[in-house]
Structure 1
Amino acid sequence: MISYNPLWHTLLNRGMNKGDLKDATGLSYGTMASMGKNEPVNLKQIDRICKALNCGISDVIEYIPD
């Protein structure tokens, strides 16, 4: 399972919320909703997040074995 908990922690540490992330990356509401449900999203979206937040992939997602 993919978890976006590291992303939510990264946002909190930077004083940002999901709306700020959406504005900074241009992600769609659908993509944001998918991430909120820990559903997979395209790696292009992860790349956009990493670029906008100037962070690594481990600051955005983590893999949790089922």
Structure 2
Amino acid sequence: MIMDVDYRKLWKLLIDKGIKNKTELITMAGISTNILAKLGKGEFISMDSMQKICKALDCDIGDVCVINEPVHDDKSPE
């Protein structure tokens, strides 16, 4: 089973807050470029990084991401 994380809410929130460049999030939240890259690829990040982002944007985790329904991967056992 593969779970998918969707950060489209984060990108919309940045726009709504007038943050035009995603890289500004690095400075605002104190995250690394690797974390920003993972966000861009829709990969999971640590809760510590998520907390930093939420604190910097004054929001809740549900305001920045959604965990999509699990998808069965034919290669993995059920």
TM-score range relative to shorter protein = over 0.9
Query: Which residue of 44, 47, 59 maps to 2:51?
Result: 47
Q: Which runs of 4+ in 1 moved over 4 A?
A: none
Identical positions, percent: 35
Aligned residues: 66
| TM-score (norm: length of structure 2) | 0.79
Q: Which residue of 1 aligns with 2:16?
A: 13
Q: How many angstroms does 1:33 deviate by?
A: 0.3
| TM-score (norm: length of structure 1) | 0.93
Give CA deviations for 1:16-38 in whole Å, capped at 9, x if unaligned: 13122111011111110011000
Gaps of 5+ in 2: 72-78
Query: Which residue of 4, 11, 31 maps to 2:7?
Result: 4
Superposed CA RMSD: 0.9
Gaps of 5+ in 1: none
